Amino acid sequence: MAENKRLALSNAQLKWENGFRGLLKAMAMVLVLIVIGVFITLVIESWPSIKALGVGYLWGKVWDPVSNVYGAYPFLVGTLLTSFIALLISIPFSYAIAIYLGEYNPKGWLSDLLKNTVELIAAVPSVIYGFWALSVLVPMIRSLEIKWQIAPYGVGILTSSLILAVMVIPYGASLGITLIRMTPSQLKEGAYALGATRFEVIRKVVTPYTRSGLFAGVLLSLGRALGETMAVTMVIGNTSALAHTFKDMLFGPGNTMASVIANEFTEADHTEYLSALIELGLVLFCVTVIINIIGKRIITRFSNN
């Protein structure tokens, strides 16, 4: 009798396990189907533009809806430039916060305060950052441009990169804190026992152990920067012209693919114009996917080493 009960219980547990596994698999497949559906929808809706403009759409430097001329190159450059500059600015702050809260000060009221503040930065709506940038950051950049004898726009690629850097800091920092705290204490204690300083432990033990995860945090920050719309739209200047020099491009106004879509989508009054804007979304989707694939390969190589 007892043996039969155990068998019945085991069969019931097996059914629950198989059912739960099936549910998880179904949810994963739904996510895959959603991504594929988004891609197919973008392709279908942008097909008139793809058919009319071809590959030249990517290299076209003129965006003039009045003349029905569409080129995505200025916005592609603006998107990549703002995102990577923001990433370069944010990485030192993200890693410094992660190392301090993960290794130097992992507990206590100050650690909790700083950790909650970092998480709060990620929770603030992007439009608030846009207002703050217009009120504080733009006048500061304009005064610097006047001092350096540069056209005092205030708004532009540099301003949007700075506000993006502030916005993406929490993504790399939060993941870095978690990873550094998960470093096995035996590894660190062994290094200390051999006479290593704390800096040497961080450089030779903690960093190698967590580097794939830290790079994943960088990749997450980059993905956030690529897709940001509202704050960038408010401070980038929103011009379709592409500057000839890097200096003019950096300090002058520009545009990103997301900001163009946000600004002009409601103004698209004919099929090709609307299709060209949707194709910008398709290009942004593909750029994000390509960057993530490259990042995953780098993470895999880090993990294998």
> Along the 305 residues of the chain, how does pLDDT read in single tens digits?
555 666 665 666 777 787 888 888 999 999 999 999 999 999 999 999 898 888 888 888 888 888 888 989 999 999 999 999 999 999 999 999 999 988 888 888 888 888 888 888 888 888 999 999 999 999 999 999 889 888 888 888 999 999 999 999 988 888 888 888 888 888 888 888 888 888 888 888 888 888 888 888 888 888 888 888 888 989 998 888 888 888 888 888 989 999 999 888 888 888 888 999 999 999 999 998 888 888 888 777 766 66
pLDDT for 226: 87
238 contacts 259 by C-beta, under 8 angstroms: yes
43 contacts 51 by C-beta, under 8 angstroms: no
- Gap between the Cα atoms of 256 and 266, Å rounded: 17
157 contacts 85 by C-beta, under 8 angstroms: yes
Q: Where are the alpha helices (DSSP H) in 56-197?
A: 56-59, 73-99, 109-123, 126-132, 138-147, 157-181, 185-193
pLDDT for 112: 85
- Gap between the Cα atoms of 191 and 203, Å rounded: 11
In whole angstroms, how far apart are CA 291 and each of 5, 35, 83, 210, 297? 54, 16, 12, 21, 10
pLDDT for 208: 85
The tokens describing 4, both together, are 């039969």
206 contacts 193 by C-beta, under 8 angstroms: no
pTM of the model: 0.86
Label residue 131 exposed, middle or buried (CB < 10 Å: 0-12, 13-18, 19+).
middle
| H or E element in which residue 305 lies | none
Q: Is 151 helix (H, G, I), strand (E, B) or coil?
A: coil
- Gap between the Cα atoms of 42 and 156, Å rounded: 29
254 forms beta bridges with: 237
pLDDT for 223: 85
| H or E element in which residue 280 lies | helix 271-304
How many residues make up the chain in this entry? 305
In terms of Cα–Cα distance, which of 279, 243, 286 is closest to 264? Answer: 279
pLDDT for 9: 57
Q: What single-letter DSSP state applies at residue 276?
A: H
270 contacts 250 by C-beta, under 8 angstroms: no
End-to-end CA distance of the chain: 55
